Amino acid sequence: MKIALLGFGTVGGGVWELLQGNPDWDIAWVLTRRTRPELGSRAVFTMEPILADPEVELVVEVLGGIRPAFDYVAAALQAGKHVVTANKALMAAHYDELTALARQNGVALRCTGAVGGGIPFLTALERVRRLDRVRSVSGIVNGTTNYILDRMTREGSGFDAVLADAQALGYAEADPSADLDGLDVRRKLVLMANVAFGVSLREEEIPMAGIRGVTAEDIAAFRQAGLVCRMLATASREEGGVSAVAEPALVPDSAPEAAVPLNCNRITVTGERLGEQAFFGQGAGRYPTAMNVLQDCMDIASGCRSFYTERALPCPVDNDTLRRPYYVRTGDEKPFAGLIAGRLGPGFVTRPMAVPELHRRIPGCRFTAAVDNAFFAQHFA
């Protein structure tokens, strides 16, 4: 199959390497932002040669960001070319437009590498929902935050030192805001929930909190209490729609999530008949993500002509019935008057409260994390 590759960075370079010497695949064009002598005549700087080439059946987008990626992907779909992307920011922001374009033009749109890196979670989710009704999806979906929290927990290291190590190893970007503040997790949660429930959630309606404010003192208090902090994405069916939230959470040190090491991910899907099924593996990286991109390409070569679901019904995010106790560390406890159930290290634990209520108070907090309900019932109820 003749394909065009948009982007030649970490993932794009991985795709290029993995296809070298494979006679079944011909990378005809590589759209790149700068001169790449090693690509020879394949290198282009605009979409025109790609769109004009009738032999190019599939476009692989690994540029990242929303613009110009959206324009390129939309143009490829309108030209009747299949698209594979690993771009969660693009897919979360333009989910409706891109899935509709794929359907209208009878081509495939796949983005397995956008959630879980090397874990084929979206394709597994697609298989589950063929025969079962999905009740919830959840898990650790960001390798950068897990690397930071895992090392802080195991070593007692400070946040800034571990972040610097993550950047040196390539696990964190020079500007790590999307990871640390929860944006990356929320974008992946949009895709997981949309596919799981056949809906279309608005990214900005999903409350999120990040890990930027966590300290070694917080982590030490959690460890002493038998808890481990992890950054989690959670979505489930509710009577009023779908509940969805991206935030740090304190889980028992015996929980499977507590054992997820370094930059790995663990994602679960719970079906009405299937029960819980978990997927573990590399959450990011050159080759793990490139492998999932190429698996999508191979599915298309084998005849796949669709997205993971045909449904994308607009749906409100309804967290009003989702109640959780929270660990809170803040310089001003007055907004939580009457809500404090007890102390934990440098902070306190609230009584169970609606998720939207807590997130309305977050701007005045230094760090917050949802607390395991069983732990709360044992120690604070």
Q: pLDDT tens-digit profile of 64-106?
A: 999 999 999 999 999 999 999 999 999 999 999 999 999 999 9
The model carries a pTM of 0.96
What is the mean predicted confidence (pLDDT) over 270-293?
94
User: Could you tell me the two tokens for 349?
Assistant: 């634990």
170 by DSSP, 3-state: which? coil
At residue 167, what are phi and psi to the nearest 5 degrees? -70, -40
Q: Which residues, 6+ apart, have CB-to-CB distance to 308 below 8 Å?
A: 110, 122, 123, 125, 126, 195
Which sequence positions are flagged as catalytic?
188
**pLDDT at res. 289:** 94
Confidence of residue 284 (pLDDT cuts 50, 70, 90): confident
**pLDDT at res. 331:** 92
User: Could you tell me the two tokens for 81?
Assistant: 């070319």
Contact present, 113 and 289 (Cβ < 8 Å): yes
Contact present, 229 and 218 (Cβ < 8 Å): yes
pLDDT, tens digit, 9 for 90 and up, residues 209-249: 999 999 999 999 999 999 999 999 999 998 878 999 999 99
Q: Which of 299, 307, 311 is nearest to 106 (CA)?
A: 307
**pLDDT at res. 37:** 86
What is the mean predicted confidence (pLDDT) over 119-133?
96
Q: Which residues, 6+ apart, have CB-to-CB distance to 104 below 8 Å?
A: none
What is the mean predicted confidence (pLDDT) over 163-189?
94
**pLDDT at res. 38:** 86
**Over the chain, what is the mean pLDDT?**
96
Distance CA 59, CA 120 (A): 20
**Domains of the chain, with CATH numbers?**
2-110 (3.40.50.720), 121-281+316-321 (3.30.360.10)
Confidence of residue 170 (pLDDT cuts 50, 70, 90): confident
User: Could you tell me the two tokens for 338?
Assistant: 């009457």
Confidence of residue 325 (pLDDT cuts 50, 70, 90): very high
What is the mean predicted confidence (pLDDT) over 144-152?
97
Confidence of residue 285 (pLDDT cuts 50, 70, 90): confident
**pLDDT at res. 283:** 87
Dihedral sign of CA atoms 241, 229, 146, 173 in order: positive
User: Could you tell me the two tokens for 191?
Assistant: 């895709």
Q: What is the DSSP string of 333-353?
A: -GGGTTTEEEEETTEEEEPPE
Contact present, 377 and 324 (Cβ < 8 Å): no
What is the mean predicted confidence (pLDDT) over 197-217?
97
CA dihedral of residues 334, 337, 342, 345 (deg, nearest 10): -10
3-state helix, strand, coil in the chain (%, to 5): 40, 25, 35
Distance CA 147, CA 223 (A): 17
What is the mean predicted confidence (pLDDT) over 127-156?
97
Distance CA 201, CA 194 (A): 7
**pLDDT at res. 240:** 72
More confident residue, 327 or 381: 327
pLDDT, tens digit, 9 for 90 and up, residues 11-70: 999 999 999 989 999 999 999 988 888 898 999 999 999 999 999 999 999 999 999 999
* The pLDDT of residue 6 is above 90: yes
**pLDDT at res. 316:** 92
